Amino acid sequence: MTLNDHTQCPACRSLSTHVTKGEFKASGFQAFGNRVCDECGTAWRPRCPRWAAIVSIVTGCLLLGCVLGATGFLLNQHVPPNFSDAKALKGVVMVGFFTVMGLWALFYGITVLLGRAGKMQILGKLLVSPPGSETSEPGSGSVTDMVCAGCQRPFPPGSAYCPHCGLRQPS
């Protein structure tokens, strides 16, 4: 796997792609955002590479090690927990947050390496207007609006982004 495999369209192998917005926007966490091809309109979720899974596992282990080390140091110093103190409560919440983040990163990396998460998936196909499909004859007084590939709403020709969903439009 090369570094640009997550940006190359799985259908037409084009490198002219961008991160999606609107209908196919990523929900939840994934290593790389969902992408759409500017050439053929294929929308897909890139796979999580092995190196990203390994980085996730190492990051999770480091976070858990730091949390356990800090907790062990404080317990070794015999610091009595005073939960009526706002600073102590904030500290407990922070320790809990970093523990959850460390466990999540560790388990996500392991599930990717086991093949249960982070797989490439084709999400659908966006309608891509062929070049030159707009009609702008001088004197006719009518200019056909383009249709957004993401939200299917019309927008004025010449716009680089859809004003409704923010999706970059093919030029």
Report the SS3 class of residue 17.
strand
Q: Is residue 79 part of a domain?
A: yes
For the entire predicted model, the pTM comes to 0.61
Give residue 91's domain range. 59-113
Q: Is the pLDDT of residue 129 over 60?
A: no
The span from the CA of 19 to the CA of 148, in Å, is: 15
The answer to whether 150 touches 22, Cβ cutoff 8 Å, is yes
Q: Is residue 8 part of a domain?
A: no
Number of domains in the chain: 1
Q: Is residue 17 part of a domain?
A: no
Q: Is residue 9 part of a domain?
A: no
**Model confidence pLDDT, tens digit, residues 45-97:** 888 889 999 999 999 999 999 998 888 877 776 666 666 677 777 878 888 99
Q: Is residue 132 part of a domain?
A: no
Q: Is residue 7 part of a domain?
A: no
DSSP secondary structure string for all residues of 115-167? TSS---EEEEE---PPTT-S---TTT---PPEE-TTT--EE-TT-SB-TTT-P
Mean pLDDT of the chain: 77
User: In 9-131, where does DSSP find H-type helix?
Assistant: 50-76, 86-113
